[in-house]
Copies of this chain bind each other. A is one copy, B any other.
Amino acid sequence: MNTLQNASLSLLDLAPKTRQAARQLGVISTEVKDRAIQAIADALESAIPEILSANQADCQAAKGNIPEPLYHRLKLDENKLKEAIAGVRDLGKLPDPVGAIQMQRELDTGLILQRVTCPLGVLGVIFEARPDAAIQISSLAIKSGNGVILKCGTEAVRSCTEIVKVIRQGLASTAIDPDVVQLLTTREQTLELLKLDKYIDLIIPRGSNSFVKFVQDNTRIPVLGHADGICHLYVDAAADLHQAIAITVDAKTQYPAVCNAIETLLVHRAIASQFLPAVKDALDIREVELRGDEKTRQILSIKAATEEDWATEYNDLILSIAVVDALEDAIVHINQYGSRHTEAIVTEDSQAAATFLAEVDAAGVFHNCSTRFADGYRYGFGAEVGISTQNLPPRGPVGLEGLVTYKYRVTGNGHIVADYTGANGKEFTHKDLDRSSNSRKAL
């Protein structure tokens, strides 16, 4: 085992090493994994001064050369770092997602089928500035039994190199091969990584919309994440308008730069003339720029929204507004322009709510609450890898559970298929068995 980084190794040498190390990690007991996670936290704690000093060097080099918000994400202080380390310790306390028996069935006497969760293998995670992401992702990967190849942005190279070195040192004192965690630092390696479908089982890109799209277009490996977060709030004819105003303000302004903030407000025409001026007053206080369709602008004197507005994730204090004639029109608009992330309705009409929740095609469909609740922590998942807007599972906020897959185990005592075929073939019993006795039995 090698506690230093394999900086001199090419990705093609490094990826098989990670896969091999991940194979071993995949069958390690929960206790050993959790001890290793505490060892990582200990190592990081001891190395706080070194990590902060590496981060300071990154920040000095980046200051003025990268946009302000990126700089803020890059900058670590002791508090932020300690919080990340506390997150690692918390992760150690979550249930192990590996080894859960999801199904147990007798196919015939002595022939037992089980479906058991197991790690995916190796994750490829590409992220921008935030060095604390390296801490969070490495520990999530280990907890779920996966290897991980991290690729950080160039601006965070010194911080991430130090962090990954410390994590690997922490692992060196445990039963887990430090090669389960690797760091790439050059742009060329990103493209190379996306081609390694033989060694990487899931790509998790964390960055701008255009970057995520680039990743989706350039790999055959499954991608977990979302390019756009174009979320809507529909205020129905039967809405409680006070509630609707509070939810609009929260969903738009509580944190406008995140994916679960709304970009478009759809308003039923029956309450438009009453609701729109009131919601405008509330949004004006937060300095939200409004852009409206023609019907909205008959009520509010605001800038006109263009076709482009309906398809734009502002990530900013801008909100487009359209007046719709009916619930059905709101659903059509959302299914056309939404990014299948999170969509909400405000209404006291339970039938309208049921129709909206059923017919809107999105990972999250909300009734009388803010879209901002769409989040792994708020859902109680303990940790979140990201939010997926793909249709196939894992969908929506993805916790540890989304980093595992399953395999079917069948055990018999000499059973062969020939005995079950032809006129006198045996019949299968297909009897579901109780899982409770050993639902968390290790692999």
In contact, A392 and B359 (Cβ under 8 angstroms): no
A351-375: contact bitstring with B at CB < 8 Å (1 yes, 0 no)? 0011101110111111111101110
> Could you tell me if A391 and B121 are in contact, using CB atoms closer than 8 angstroms?
yes
Identical chains bound together, number:
2
Docked CA distance A171–B335 (Å): 25
Is the Cβ of A409 less than 8 Å from the Cβ of B357? Answer: yes
A214 is an interface residue with CB less than 8 A from chain B: no
A residues bordering B, Cβ < 8 Å? 23, 26-27, 105, 107, 111, 113, 120-121, 201-202, 216-217, 220, 222, 240, 242-243, 246-247, 249-251, 254-255, 335, 353-355, 357-359, 361-370, 372-374, 378-380, 390-393, 395-397, 405-418, 420-421, 428, 430, 443
Residues of B close to A359: CB separation below 8 A: 23, 26-27
Q: In whole Å, how far is A430's beta carbon from the nearest beta carbon of chain B?
A: 4
| Other 4 A-B pairs with CB < 8 A, given A247-B416, A364-B409 | A23-B361, A107-B373, A373-B417, A378-B417
Q: Are B246 and A416 in contact (CB under 8 A)?
A: yes
Contact A393/B411 with A359-B27, A428-B378 known, Cβ cut-off 8 Å = no
Q: Given A405-B395, A408-B365, A430-B380, does the pair A246, B414 have CB atoms closer than 8 Å? A: yes
Determine whether the beta carbon of B373 is less than 8 Å from that of A407. Answer: no
How many Å from the CB of A76 to the closest CB on chain B?
A: 22
Query: Helix, strand, loop or mixed for chain A's interface?
Result: mixed
- Which residues of B are found within 8 Å of A246, using beta-carbon distances? 414, 416
| Chain B residue at minimum C-beta to C-beta distance from A367 | B411
A121: chain B residues within 8 A (beta carbon): 361, 391
Q: Please tell me if the beta carbons of B410 and A105 are within 8 angstroms of each other in the complex.
A: no
Nearest chain B CB to A283 CB, angstrom units: 14
Among the listed B26, B107, B249, B415, which residue makes an inter-chain contact with A379, where contact means beta carbons less than 8 Å apart?
B107
Closest B residue to A202 by CB, please name it.
B392
B residues less than 8 Å from A396 (CB atoms)? 406-408
A254 to B430, CA, bound (A): 22
